[in-house]
Amino acid sequence: MMYRVVSVSVFMSLAACSTGGGGSAVGGGAGGGGLFGARESNAATGQQTIRLAGRKILVQGPDGFCVDPASRLENRQGGFVVLGSCAALSGNDQAPSPARPAVLTVSVSPMPRDVATTTAGLQDFLATEDGQSQLVASGAAEILSVQSSGGVQVIHARDTSPTRPAALADEYWRGFIVVRGYLLSLTVSATASSAISDQYGRQMLLAFVNSMQNANPERQNAGNGIKNLFNRLL
């Protein structure tokens, strides 16, 4: 599978796009490994979850996806991690894998203290210059469409910048949720060798959103959560 030979520079480039390059690698193990380096199996079927942001956020992908612990980045502002096929990450062809190859990422950053963790608060933040920078991965990215699916606004974009990893296709799908005071940017990218349709990309992103929400249930006294994502933004 193509995943097994992708360079470690792929996840470093993705992390720079998602976090501004301010993270420091942790928990990756000596010499790299996993999805974006030499394969090293931590378990027969791959690692399905990992915690970020001081263990406050549990990352869990849709069926068939596992986290690449070698890609984990964290700093005081949040964290970042890549997910890929469990079969590819574990080196076990019998392990679960998605119907179509894709690379998922989650970037975690704290919501500004003066922004309410509500639908309106998220919309207001994403309308700012800092918020707009979250919508696309680079200045060369073009927004192809914005559609509402299951209460989530899904951004379909194309990134033709030279910093885009060569192992990934130009197109990706991105959405946002707020969990426990953190802004989570979730992205689905096609691989260069296996294109995916807009419909599949949207469905995979929504499945990723659902997995993350189920893994991080809001506390009963946490107040109003995000049900619709920046519906009036674009």
Tell me whether residue 208 is in a domain.
Answer: yes
Tell me whether residue 228 is in a domain.
Answer: no
Tell me whether residue 193 is in a domain.
Answer: yes
Q: What is the pLDDT of residue 116?
A: 53
pLDDT digits 0-9 by tens, 7-23: 233 443 444 445 444 34
**Alpha carbons 26 and 200: distance in angstroms, whole number:** 32
Which residue segment(s) compose the domain that 134 sits in? 2-215
Q: What is the pLDDT of residue 122?
A: 54
Q: What is the pLDDT of residue 139?
A: 59
Could you tell me which residues come within 8 angstroms of residue 69 by beta carbon, excluding any fewer than 6 positions away? 27, 28, 29, 34, 42, 47, 50, 81
Tell me whether residue 227 is in a domain.
Answer: no
Q: How far is CA 23 from CA 12, 13, 33, 73, in A?
A: 10, 12, 18, 5
Tell me whether residue 220 is in a domain.
Answer: no
In the chain, the number of structural domains is 1
- Residue 57, classed as helix, strand or coil, is strand
**Alpha carbons 110 and 175: distance in angstroms, whole number:** 16
Q: What is the pLDDT of residue 38?
A: 38
Tell me whether residue 18 is in a domain.
Answer: yes
Query: Among residues 75, 96, 77, which one has the least CA distance to residue 85?
Result: 96
- Ranges of beta strands (E only) in the chain are 24-25, 49-52, 57-60, 65-75, 78-85, 102-110, 141-149, 152-159, 168-179, 182-191
Q: Which regions in the chain score pLDDT beneath 70?
A: 1-43, 112-140, 150-151, 220-234
Tell me whether residue 145 is in a domain.
Answer: yes
Q: What is the pLDDT of residue 20?
A: 42
Q: What is the pLDDT of residue 102?
A: 94
Tell me whether residue 41 is in a domain.
Answer: yes
